[in-house]
A = this chain, B = another copy of it.
Amino acid sequence: MSEPIVFMLDVAAADAAEPAAGWASTVRRIEPGAPSLQATELSATRGDGVFETLGVLDGHPQAVDAHFWRLANSAEILELPAPNLGQWRVAMRTAGATIPVDRQGGIKLVLSRGVEGTGQPTGWLIATVAEDDFRSRTEGWKVVTLDRGYRHDLSEHAPWLLPGAKTLSYAVNMAALREARRRGASNAIFVSSDGFVMEAPQSTVVMRRGDTLVTPRTDIGILPGTTQLSVFALAAEWGLATESRLVPAAELLDSDGVWLMSSVALATPLTEIDGHAVAVDRELTERLNAALLARRE
């Protein structure tokens, strides 16, 4: 396995001007395996921060603007300092350049509340070459549905539950993936306590019904999907309709195709949900992944 490459950021205020030496001077590459975080970091002791994971193709980070919008939105929900996007853009290019052009990879951006007591955020980036052969893009995944415990209409009344923020507090997401594997599945779909499809622990759910692609509305407390956004833009070009709405879980079973979508794995078709076979649209899957892999920004 190739080692991930870490860059620490001297986090600049959102409105700070680029220093004379350029933003690159605020980005520090860390020796492999060297510690770079203090043990009192609130990311590590409280999961208190936000992140994004971008796909990298041919050395180019993908869907940058969508990820930057979401990073800034998550930071606002958590009342973290707004990220200086000029700085993060340069840092991201520096990190992206470490992924060989013939490999697929990912960059994680992390913005944490910082070392406890300092009031100063901490920022870093992790560039990773994907070890996955992405056979799942053709072979598909079996998934299980898991109750997320929240009603679909909860989030508008309870902002302290941080709906719509991609926080570092992912212990439940990780536990859901372990539960899926325990049940012989590769992934999970969270369903609201009143039976509506939410999202997967690390990806967005999209289904096809006739000539329409459908994804759950984000106002039920889920993340807007960056890859799903790209796919809906492609679908519009291809003459498919798109829809964001409430999706009762049972609808997934009689759809014309269901996918989990994320930045590095891209569009993975589902073959089974809770042991029930679902229709697989191989043609559209192939077309989607080919188009996503052909992006260079």
Contact = CB atoms under 8 A, between A and B. Distances in A.
A39 B30 contact: yes
Interface residues of A, number: 59
B44 A44 contact: yes
Interface string A29-70: 010011111111101111111010000000000000000000
A104 B157 CA distance: 39
B170 A48 contact: yes
Contact of A179 (B30, B160, B169): B160
Given A150-B150, A151-B149, A170 B47 contact: yes
A125 B234 CA distance: 50
Interface string A116-159: 11000000101000000000000000000011111100100111
B168 A157 contact: no
Contact of A124 (B39, B147, B150): B39
Interface of A: 1, 4, 6, 8, 30, 33-41, 43-49, 51, 78-79, 108, 110, 112, 116-117, 124, 126, 146-151, 154, 157-162, 165, 167-176, 178-179, 188, 193
Given A45-B126, A160-B175, A169-B172, 9 more contacts: A35-B36, A37-B37, A39-B126, A43-B43, A48-B171, A150-B150, A160-B179, A161-B172, A169-B169
